Amino acid sequence: MTAVLTGIGGFLPPRAVTNDDLSRTLDTSDEWIRTRTGIRERRMVSEGLSTGSLAVEAGARALRSAGVTGVDAVVVATTSPERLCPAVAPEVSSRLGLGTVAAFDVTSACSGFLYGLATAAGLIDSGTADTVLFIGSEAFTTLVNQHDRTTAPIFGDGAGAVVLRRGAPEEPGALGPFDLGSDGALADLLAIPAGGSRQRSADAGLGHASVPAADWYLRMEGRPLYTQAVERMAQSAARVLDRAAWPVTDVDWFVGHQANLRIVRAVAEELQLPGERVAVNIDRVGNTLAASVPLLLNDYAAGGALRPGHRVLLSAFGAGLSWGSTVLVWPDVKAEPVD
Ligand code: ACO
């Protein structure tokens, strides 16, 4: 038996921030952001919305899409936790009326959806759960210094969710194989230095007085990350296609993590996948980390471009460093537009 995708949903906070909006407070321009990243606008949380509330909205839509009111487990992938402790998944489960089922978070930055999907599928494969609600949810813009032009334009907030159920490997929607990997030697290329135990231990008793303000926010070395992202995603995607015995010509849609339009295109080029089979929505949402892949799947399914029977390659790369890929044949699931 294996995990089969049976429902999908997405949610974006209502506040849209365009490149021109950013240019009013940052030394940047719509032209620079569009040509370097492909992003035109992104959504940002406001008025009390945060990772948990975005997850509840997306989760409710995925449950509706699957036509179920209960699941055996809830998993949330996020790198913008609601609080340092506890995990947000139990609260999301409770707010969705799912009772006292197993619930926990997975942290793997932009590859969080692939890592979380493999974990959720593993709960089903191992017989621990028959159904799982898995949500990628991020309010990551709250962790980005909005006065730093090298990071502020890139990220956006949102949530995407899927429902998985126990099924047969030959069914449409069956997930896998998976390819997952990491390189912790390069962890510092993308990190938020303060807030965790490393800084708190070093800072013991000083009341954070010694922590530079910038350390509470994301630090990113864009150039080396760009190279790593292209290389790692392309290699991981090629490995998973090999394991699945899918020639690249069989792939109808490459649904890659939306970190940067140039990165997604470069990965497709490495894989020799034509541009018309590359799914893209970064222009409207930016980089939404663990929410990126499910929001893109939801967009394409709701818009009718992704149809039952299409062969889909999923791949993501992010901080850690970490990366992951999987494949599935798109099932006959209902998808609503995010707004
Ligand atoms: N507006 C105008 N100019 C800018 C801006 C901006 N917003 N940001 C940087 N610049 C300038 C730089 O200062 C630099 O100027 P200089 O040449 O005078 O020094 C110039 O533009 C070029 O900067 P680069 O950083 O070299 O630009 P690059 O083409 O590499 O694009 C980017 C930067 C978009 C960040 C790119 O490197 C990238 O996408 N990297 C990968 C990001 C990624 O994949 N992260 C991992 C996933 S995220 C996660 O896991 C949370």
Q: How far is the CA of 271 from the centre of ligand 1 (A)?
A: 24
Q: What is the best residue among 223, 263, 289 to mutate for testing ligand 1's pocket, by most ligand atoms within 8 Å of CB?
A: 223
Q: Any residues with CB less than 8 A from the CB of 222 and at least 6 apart, and which?
A: 150
Whether residue 260 has its Cβ less than 6 Å from ligand 1? yes
Minimal-distance CA residue to ligand 1 atom 12 = 150
Q: Taking a C-beta distance cutoff of 8 angstroms, is the pair 135, 61 a contact?
A: no
Tell me the pLDDT tens digit for each residue of 201-245.
888 777 777 889 999 999 999 999 999 999 999 999 999 999 999
Q: Taking a C-beta distance cutoff of 8 angstroms, is the pair 11, 159 a contact?
A: yes
pLDDT tens-place values along the chain, 339 residues long: 899 999 999 999 999 999 999 999 999 999 999 999 999 999 999 989 999 999 999 999 999 999 999 999 999 999 999 999 999 999 999 999 999 999 999 999 999 999 999 999 999 999 999 999 999 999 999 999 999 999 999 999 999 999 999 999 999 999 999 999 999 999 999 999 999 999 988 887 777 778 899 999 999 999 999 999 999 999 999 999 999 999 999 999 999 999 999 999 999 999 999 999 999 999 999 999 999 999 999 999 999 999 999 999 999 999 999 999 999 999 999 999 998
pLDDT at 209: 76
Q: Taking a C-beta distance cutoff of 8 angstroms, is the pair 258, 296 a contact?
A: yes
- Is 85 in the active site? no
What's the chain's average pLDDT?
Answer: 97
142 DSSP β-pair partners: none
Ligand 1 atom nearest 153 alpha carbon: 7
Q: Which of 260, 281, 287, 298 is catalytic?
A: 287
- C-alpha 63/C-alpha 77 separation (Å) is 17
Ligand 1 atom nearest 262 alpha carbon: 39
> Long-range pairs for 21-29 at CB < 8 Å and ≥24 separation?
22/152, 22/153, 25/146, 25/147, 26/146, 26/147, 26/149, 26/152, 26/153, 27/149, 28/149, 28/153
Q: Which domains can be identified in the chain, with CATH numbers?
A: 2-167 (3.40.47.10), 179-185+218-329 (3.40.47.10)
pLDDT at 208: 76
Minimal-distance CA residue to ligand 1 atom 3 = 28
Half-sphere exposure of residue 263, counting CA atoms within 13 Å on the CB side? 28
Percent of the chain clearing pLDDT 90 (strictly above): 95
212, amino acid identity = P
240, amino acid identity = V
- C-alpha 97/C-alpha 82 separation (Å) is 19
Whether residue 37 has its Cβ less than 6 Å from ligand 1? yes
42, amino acid identity = R
- Three-state DSSP state, 73: strand
3-state secondary structure 291-302: HHHHHHHHHHHH
